[in-house]
């Protein structure tokens, strides 16, 4: 655990007692602060009280008297579409608002680092799609290379639940826009921006606010090195803002859309081959085509980001290449769950928006596509750009008929996962892929995308 520094003997309010909130309360107590906790869920309050934490309604009058700061869990809105009443009350009382990420960055370093030969480093990964895979891939490469590494944030352990940093160790954080938007302290050594596509627009007041939340990691974080995906205008703009000159190798640009040229530091993938160029000369190359854990151009972008990050941390190209080949992939992200009679079954339940679903579809040539769920803002028209890969779409969800009507592909309304899998398996022939890439949220039928992916895998396995 990372004890929170700077609040010894002070009251700190904690709003939201899920995984991050309860861990935050423990870390505050470990730093000799006095956590005052609240959650609207009685069960969550009972769990906190069972650990000896004080719970009191932070919405009552005078709740923020003598409170030093308010720590908010990621899912609680603080600005758009409107502030949570407790957050509004804290701001009205002049109480600063922060989150566990901000507490981590202000608390991770300490005087004990003066005795280390190589101080710990922090890598932070953000973006719309691919950040979980990129973070996990960086962690995997470092571990395979014999470096002490921890994975935390939106993936792995809670950020304050990790172990203190050791000599030469690396902490890899996956950070969402909810986390980067609010954190009062952001000081990664290496910051990674994968890409940007519309998502969480209501939470951020539009696309500009969404990008601004991501940009804070770089503009306010001041990383020593920034790895930036430049295939969207926002990424190209961000790289241009950070670089002092074309030769500035503190910015590493990555792409899967084109060959990058110039005197700086670039990593790009074309036709399945990753290339690294520095000062106009090639410094490394990897054939990504046979790496099963990283299918498709979107995963090649993740590989470029992870490669660039690990190069910035001092790893040699050959070590990174060997580790890429042993990467097993993440559950629910282009995860191959079975291969039988020439048919490949792929679980990409994490493809919860249109952009990520398009990337998943483009990774395979002959696809029987299971899609549908709770449709997000922006419509589904962009999905039709990948329709040439789709043999047939099997649509699930409570609004399956309406979802199907927006697709150009041949469709079958199935509603349930069980029916969709059965129909797709009956139709599939050797050389084809049955792909779950919903392009929608899961909450109309499932608690989360993990549960949806597990249902898909179970339905497949019971029929093989």
* The pLDDT of residue 386 is above 90: no
Cite the DSSP H helix spans in 36-130. 42-50, 85-92, 100-107
Task: Please state the rounded mean pLDDT for residues 341-357.
Answer: 93
Q: Spell out the residues 6+ positions from residue 428 whose beta carbon is closer than 8 angstroms to its own.
A: 343, 368, 434
Residue whose pair of structure tokens reads 């789709």 in the numeric block: 390
Residue ranges for the known binding site are: 127-133
CB–CB of 260/277 below 8 Å?
A: yes
Take residue 153 and report the two structure tokens written for it: 């944030």
Residue 170 banded pLDDT, cuts 50, 70, 90: very high
**Confidence (pLDDT) at 44:** 95
* The pLDDT of residue 119 is above 90: yes
Residue 441 banded pLDDT, cuts 50, 70, 90: very high
Of the two residues 197 and 84, the one the predictor is more confident about is 84
**Confidence (pLDDT) at 342:** 96
Each residue's pLDDT tens digit, 225-248: 999 999 999 999 999 999 999 999
Take residue 187 and report the two structure tokens written for it: 């000081």
**Confidence (pLDDT) at 393:** 97
**Confidence (pLDDT) at 184:** 95
Pairwise CA distance, residues 429 & 419, whole Å? 18
CB–CB of 92/175 below 8 Å?
A: no
DSSP 8-state secondary structure symbol assigned to residue 395? E
Domains, the chain, with CATH or none: 11-98 (3.40.50.720), 111-325 (3.40.1190.10), 335-463 (3.90.190.20)
- Up-side HSE of residue 206: CA atoms within 13 Å toward CB? 1
Take residue 56 and report the two structure tokens written for it: 């009191």
Measured in degrees and rounded to the nearest 5, phi and psi for residue 54 equal -85, 130
CB–CB of 411/386 below 8 Å?
A: no
Pairwise CA distance, residues 372 & 439, whole Å? 6
Pairwise CA distance, residues 388 & 95, whole Å? 54
Pairwise CA distance, residues 319 & 325, whole Å? 10
* The pLDDT of residue 106 is above 80: yes
Q: Spell out the residues 6+ positions from residue 341 whose beta carbon is closer than 8 angstroms to its own.
A: 430
Q: What is the pTM of this model?
A: 0.86
**Confidence (pLDDT) at 329:** 81
Neighbours of 292 (CB within 10 A): 11
**Confidence (pLDDT) at 110:** 86
From 299, 302, 286, select the one nearest 138 (Cα to Cα): 302
Measured in degrees and rounded to the nearest 5, phi and psi for residue 229 equal -75, 125
Each residue's pLDDT tens digit, 393-414: 999 999 999 999 999 999 999 9
Take residue 274 and report the two structure tokens written for it: 């990753």
Mean pLDDT (the chain) is: 94
Residues 429-455: b if buried by 16+ CB within 10 A, e if exposed: eeebbbbbbbbbbbeebbeebeebbbb
Residue 200 banded pLDDT, cuts 50, 70, 90: confident
Residue 154 banded pLDDT, cuts 50, 70, 90: confident
Task: Please state the rounded mean pLDDT for residues 210-226.
Answer: 93
Neighbouring-strand partners of residue 42: none
343-346 LR contacts (CB < 8 Å, sep 24+): 343/425, 343/428, 343/429, 343/430, 343/431, 343/432, 343/433, 343/434, 344/432, 344/433, 344/434, 345/433, 345/434, 345/457, 345/460, 346/295, 346/433, 346/434, 346/435, 346/436
* The pLDDT of residue 377 is above 80: no
Which strand ranges, in their side-by-side order, compose the sheet holding 390-396?
335-340, 343-347, 433-436, 367-371, 390-396, 411-415
From 331, 305, 335, select the one nearest 320 (Cα to Cα): 305
**Confidence (pLDDT) at 367:** 97
**Confidence (pLDDT) at 330:** 82
User: What distance separates the 2 farthest-apart alpha carbons in the chain?
Assistant: 68
Pairwise CA distance, residues 34 & 31, whole Å? 9
CB–CB of 267/308 below 8 Å?
A: yes
Residue 75 banded pLDDT, cuts 50, 70, 90: confident
**Cα–chain-centroid distance for residue 188?**
16
**Confidence (pLDDT) at 129:** 87
**Confidence (pLDDT) at 181:** 94
Task: Please state the rounded mean pLDDT for residues 445-456.
Answer: 95
Take residue 66 and report the two structure tokens written for it: 């003598």
**Confidence (pLDDT) at 331:** 87
Each residue's pLDDT tens digit, 35-73: 999 999 999 999 999 999 999 999 999 999 999 999 999
Task: Please state the rounded mean pLDDT for residues 97-103.
Answer: 97
Take residue 87 and report the two structure tokens written for it: 């957050």
Residue ranges for the known binding site for ATP are: 127-133
């Amino acid at each position: 655990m990372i004890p929170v520094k700077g609040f010894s003997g002070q009251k700190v309010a904690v709003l939201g007692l899920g995984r991050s909130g309860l861990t935050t309360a423990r870390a505050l107590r470990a730093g000799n602060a006095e956590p005052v906790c609240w959650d609207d869920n009685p069960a969550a309050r009972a769990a906190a009280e069972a650990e000896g934490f004080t719970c009191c309604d932070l919405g009552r009058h005078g709740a923020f008297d003598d409170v030093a700061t308010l720590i908010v869990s990621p899912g609680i809105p603080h600005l758009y579409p409107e502030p949570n009443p407790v957050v509004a009350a804290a701001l009205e009382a002049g109480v600063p608002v922060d989150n566990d990420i901000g507490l981590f960055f202000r608390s991770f370093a300490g005087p004990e680092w003066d005795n280390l030969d190589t101080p710990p480093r922090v890598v932070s990964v953000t973006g719309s799609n691919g950040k979980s895979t990129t973070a996990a891939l960086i962690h995997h490469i470092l571990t395979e290379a014999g470096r002490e590494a921890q994975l935390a944030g939106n993936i792995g352990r809670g950020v304050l639940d990790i172990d203190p940093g050791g000599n030469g160790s690396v902490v890899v954080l996956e950070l969402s826009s909810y986390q980067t938007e609010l954190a009062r302290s952001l000081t990664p050594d290496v910051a990674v921006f994968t890409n940007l596509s519309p998502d969480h627009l209501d939470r951020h007041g539009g696309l500009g606010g969404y990008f601004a939340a991501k940009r804070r990691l770089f503009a306010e974080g001041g990383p020593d090195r920034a790895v930036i995906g430049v295939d969207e205008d926002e990424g190209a703009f961000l790289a241009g803002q950070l670089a002092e000159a074309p030769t500035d190798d503190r910015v590493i640009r990555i792409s899967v859309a084109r060959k990058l040229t110039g005197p700086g530091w670039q990593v790009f993938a074309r036709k399945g081959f990753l290339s690294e160029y520095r000062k106009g000369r090639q410094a490394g190359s990897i054939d990504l085509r046979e790496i099963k854990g990283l299918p498709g151009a979107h995963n090649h972008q993740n590989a470029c980001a992870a490669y660039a990050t690990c190069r910035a941390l001092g790893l040699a190209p050959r070590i990174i290449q060997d580790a890429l080949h042993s990467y097993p992939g993440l559950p629910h992200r282009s995860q191959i769950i079975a291969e039988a009679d020439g048919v490949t079954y792929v679980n990409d339940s994490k493809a919860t928006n249109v952009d990520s679903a398009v990337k998943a579809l483009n990774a395979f040539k002959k696809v029987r596509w299971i899609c549908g769920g709770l449709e997000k803002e922006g419509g589904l028209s962009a999905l039709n750009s990948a329709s040439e890969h789709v043999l047939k779409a099997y649509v699930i969800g409570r609004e399956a008929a309406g979802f199907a009507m927006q697709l150009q592909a041949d469709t079958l309304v199935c509603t349930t996962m069980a029916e969709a899998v059965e129909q797709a398996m009956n139709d599939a022939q050797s050389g084809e892929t049955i792909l779950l890439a919903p392009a929608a949220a899961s909450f109309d039928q499932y608690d989360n995308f993990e549960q949806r992916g597990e249902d898909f895998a179970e339905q497949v396995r019971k029929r093989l």
